[in-house]
Structure 1
Amino acid sequence: MLQTEKPTGRCPLCGSDDLYPLRCKERLYHRCRTCELVHLEPTQRLSEQAEKAIYDDHENAVDDPGYRRFLSRAFEQVTQHQLPPAKGLDFGCGPGPALVAMAREAGYEMSLYDKYYHPDPASLQQQYDFITCTEVVEHLADPLTVLDQLWSLLSPDGLLVLQTKRVLDENRFRSWHYRNDPTHITFFAEASFRWLAQRWQANVSFPHADVVCFSPLIR
């Protein structure tokens, strides 16, 4: 596809068809002019089998101190806004649900869900005081459906915490190590999250470079 061609399809977040191509060596991405989301050309995505094989090679042990430090940027948002024994969900917890262990150790009641490792549909039919979703949204082919569902599971004073690295500009995106993971297919900018906040009529904050928090507006 030439840079002057208009991509077909729609943004998987806001649904806009106002997209333009970003060519990065062998990969083709599309960026939305409305919400600034970047997503990989769908025909270049891995199969689910190939995707899971990569996840199976990850070594994120529950008791790994480094992994826990990494997750603490998201978990500290929970401890600042919700007191135990608040009820939480860790969505996309993976094979080593370290954040679940951290929260339970701190006195929180936790459920967990993961498409491949903990596919419990009952956990997606409850209401929660907080939901954590760390290093997950960059893997989503249909982010709006998933995030809308998570938002619907929050209590009226709940908290949704997402951890993912954000797109800063297109020059840095082209040389960005984060996009080199073949399972990373969807990349949010700050504007993407602000679009979600407007859709949900939610408060949004950015406490860290890779953490964003949403909470319902107080009416």
Structure 2
Amino acid sequence: MMLSCPLCASRDTEHFHRDAQRDYHRCRHCALVFVPPDQRLGPAEERAVYDQHENSPDDPGYRRFLSRLFDPLRERLPPGARGLDFGAGPGPTLSVMFEEAGHPMAIFDPFYSPDTNVLERRYDFITATEVVEHLFAPGRELTRLADRLSAGGWLGLMTKRVTDQPAFARWHYILDPTHVVFFSEATFEWLAGHLDMRVEFPAADVALLQRR
């Protein structure tokens, strides 16, 4: 069955993998791997999974995890740069880390901080850590975020990346039922070209895209 890619909308897609719970398709155009729409969780089921997360700015281990994006992005920001943490979750932490470093922050999360007014403002940088793999419409959402960036602004994304089909079949990352799209390095390079941005991969699982 040919499905439209939720990132680039191409219908040039192929079946990539099947496990006991779901199917996974791959776009030949942008290399995104995605779960068919009819195999995603509903909003209540999705929220129930997120409610089990226990992330907190008081957790040193969680801060170390986020530092993979925080450290290289902070090095690229001018003093006082304003940011948005998109998909902040039930225990916003990355925004706290940036505020401690002198960067005013806004947060948005469709379940926990759903004030859409913050999505109308302009920012010097936007972060999304362990978020893009949950997006049902990543093409629309990432385009909207890129449009909110000032010239020279940064979009910092952290998500584990697809390598090849054998590794995908063994990958723990696909076992989370809220993970519905999976990016590779090639996917991020396509995205950067589509958004007229440049992309860097400064750390494991991290992609930094800069608006020209």
1:132 aligns with 2:127: yes
Deviations 1:141-171 (A, max 9, x none): 1000000000000000111100000000011
**Which shifted more, 123-132 or 72-81?**
72-81
Structure 1 residue aligned with 2:106: 111
Select the residue among 65, 70, 75 that pairs with 2:70.
Answer: 75
Kindly provide the amino acid, as one letter, of the partner of residue 168 in structure 1.
T
Of 7, 11, 25, which aligns to 2:5? 11
Q: Deviations over 1:89-139 (max 9, x none)?
A: 000000111101111111110000000000011110111011110000000
Partners of 1:133 and 1:163 within 8 A in 2: yes
CA distance in 2, matches of 1:114, 1:196: 22
168, 177, 188: which one aligns with 1:173: 168
Letter in 2 for 1:154: L
Q: Which residue of 2 aligns with 1:4?
A: none
8 Å CA contact 1:167, 1:189 repeated in 2: yes
Paired residue for 2:14? Answer: 20
Please say if 1:96 is aligned against 2:91. yes
- Residue 41 of structure 2 corresponds to 46
Cα deviation per residue 1:1-54 (whole Å; 9 max; x = unaligned)? xxxxxx232111111111111233222111011111000121111111000000
Which amino acid in structure 2 is aligned with residue 22 of structure 1? F
In structure 2, what is the Cα distance between the partners aligned to 1:25 and 1:159? Answer: 36
Deviation at 1:79, TM superposition (A): 1.2
1: CA distance between counterparts of 2:72 and 2:84?
A: 14
- Percentage of identical aligned residues: 51
Partner of 1:66: 61
Distance 1:46 1:159 in 2: 31
TM-score, normalised by the number of residues in structure 2:
0.97
The number of residue pairs the alignment matches comes to 211
